[in-house]
């Protein structure tokens, strides 16, 4: 499995004439575990940065258009959990990404670095934010006010995202499995991408797309439509019988 995980980065770099070995990727992961803020000081980190830079210079990023083919604004959704019997519903102001310094460790953000995670399907939101059985979820609707330039994580193969999301679940505050994706997100941020786009992998019979946005202005590049709507969950418990 680790070979599969690393090979996706290797294949991406090869598209731009940059050679990286599996052993080098293994060493790079260890560098990030020890020095998570110094990725580009590693030769492999520099190679990956250059590959992403070539990708952007060749205009191979994805455009998320503010209007669809019918002239309708693109809508995305973000949810927040709250205990059903205690907390008041979140307001529109509460639905933006946390302020700098307050974000937990995410797939494409380091601890304290704000990234606005959104989905294009409201039904997928409780799966993405791991809503517990005693919680309701408040969902805000976001409207694009300009086109966004995104790095498609599918460049590393769509199955790659499922591997990161589902097979390396960790309880550590600093999640080792997030360190290389964090590095990719930081490179994209520095190079001027507005965010990343990645395939949703949770929920039965759901086909949706996730977005992690880092270069945008609240209320200008995106706006919130109306007030968040509160939803209760319908939960179904099943055992995995072996």
Give the range among 88-102, 152-166, 200-214 with minimum mean pLDDT: 152-166
Give the range among 106-115, 185-194, 225-234 with minimum mean pLDDT: 106-115
Confidence of residue 241 (pLDDT cuts 50, 70, 90): confident
Which among 26, 23, 16 is positioned nearest to 47, based on CA atoms? 16
What's the mean pLDDT when you consider all of the chain? 87
- What is the rounded average pLDDT of the residues 16-37? 91
- What is the rounded average pLDDT of the residues 138-150? 97
77 vs 30, residue with greater confidence:
77
Give the range among 70-74, 122-126, 168-172, 216-220 with minimum mean pLDDT: 168-172
Q: What is the pLDDT of residue 166?
A: 44
Confidence of residue 159 (pLDDT cuts 50, 70, 90): low
Query: What are residue 62's DSSP bridge partners?
Result: 150
58 vs 134, residue with greater confidence:
58
Q: For residue 238, give every residue at least 6 positions away whose Cβ sits within 8 Å of its Cβ, in sequence order, or none.
A: none
Query: pLDDT (tens digit, 9 = 90+) per residue, 118-130?
Result: 999 999 998 888 8
Q: Residue 161 pLDDT more than 60?
A: no
Cβ pair 202, 129 in contact under 8 A: no
Count CB atoms within 10 A of the CB of residue 238. 5
The CA distance from 96 to 87, in Å, is 18
Query: pLDDT (tens digit, 9 = 90+) per residue, 191-216?
Result: 999 999 998 887 778 899 999 999 99
Which among 162, 201, 206 is positioned nearest to 181, based on CA atoms? 162
Confidence of residue 223 (pLDDT cuts 50, 70, 90): very high
Q: For residue 188, give every residue at least 6 positions away whose Cβ sits within 8 Å of its Cβ, in sequence order, or none.
A: 52, 151, 195, 196, 214
Confidence of residue 6 (pLDDT cuts 50, 70, 90): confident
Confidence of residue 240 (pLDDT cuts 50, 70, 90): confident
- What is the rounded average pLDDT of the residues 3-12? 81
């Amino acid at each position: 499995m680790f070979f599969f995980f690393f090979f996706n980065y290797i294949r991406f770099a090869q598209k731009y004439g940059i050679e990286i070995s599996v052993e080098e990727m293994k060493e790079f992961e260890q560098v990030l575990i020890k020095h998570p803020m110094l990725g580009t000081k590693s030769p492999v980190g520099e190679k990956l940065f250059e590959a992403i830079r070539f990708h952007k210079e060749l205009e191979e990023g994805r455009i998320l258009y503010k209007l669809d083919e019918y002239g309708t604004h693109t809508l995305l959704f973000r949810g927040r959990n709250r205990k059903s019997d205690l907390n008041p519903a979140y307001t529109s102001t509460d639905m933006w990404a946390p302020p700098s310094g307050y974000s937990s460790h995410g797939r494409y953000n380091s601890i304290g670095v704000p990234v606005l995670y959104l989905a294009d399907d409201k039904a997928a939101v409780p799966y993405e934010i791991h809503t517990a059985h005693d919680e309701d979820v408040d969902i805000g609707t976001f409207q694009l006010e300009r086109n966004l330039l995104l790095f498609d994580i599918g460049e590393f193969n769509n199955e790659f995202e499922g591997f990161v999301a589902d097979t390396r679940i960790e309880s550590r505050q600093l999640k080792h499995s997030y360190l290389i994706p964090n590095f990719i997100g930081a490179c994209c941020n520095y190079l001027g991408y507005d965010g990343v786009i990645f395939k949703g992998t949770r929920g039965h019979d759901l086909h949706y797309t996730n977005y992690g946005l880092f270069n945008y202005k609240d209320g200008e590049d995106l706006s919130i439509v109306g007030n968040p709507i509160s939803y209760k969950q319908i939960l179904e418990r099943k055992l995995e019988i072996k």
